[in-house]
Amino acid sequence: MGIDETIPIPSVVVFQYNPDTLTRTLKPRGPGGEGARSEAQRLTGPPEETIKVDVEIDATDQLERGDGLAASMGIYPQLSAIEMLVYPKSSLVIANTALLAAGVIEIVPPTAPLTLFIWGAKRILPVRITEFSITEEAHDTALNPIRARVGLGLRVLGYNDLSLTNPGYYVFLAHQVIKETLGVVGTVANLAAVAGSDVRLLP
CB-CB contact of 171 with 126 (8 Å): yes
DSSP letter at 198?
T
CA angle 69, 59, 66 (to 5 degrees): 50
Q: Which long-range contacts (CB under 8 A, 24 or more apart) does 68-72 make?
A: 70/146, 71/140, 72/144
Element (H, E) at 176: helix 167-195
Contacts of 122 (CB under 8 A, 6+ apart): 178, 182
Q: How far apart are CA 172 and CA 49, in angstroms?
A: 12
The pTM of the full predicted model, rounded to 2 decimals, is 0.74
Q: What is the pLDDT of residue 44?
A: 79
Strand order through the sheet with 145-156: 2-3, 114-118, 124-139, 145-156, 45-58, 22-29
Q: How far apart are CA 161 and CA 78, in angstroms?
A: 28
Question: Which stretches in the chain have pLDDT values below 70?
Answer: 1-13, 16-17, 32-40, 105, 188-203
- Domain parsing of the chain, residue ranges: 2-192
Q: What is the DSSP string of 82-146?
A: HHGGGS--HHHHHHHHHHHHTT-S--PPPPPPEEEEE-STT-EEEEEEEEEEEEEEEE-TT--EE
Q: Which long-range contacts (CB under 8 A, 24 or more apart) does 174-182 make?
A: 174/124, 175/123, 175/124, 175/125, 176/46, 178/122, 182/122
Residue of 54, 61, 59 whose CA lies nearest to 19: 54
Query: What 3-state class would DSSP assign to 77?
Result: helix
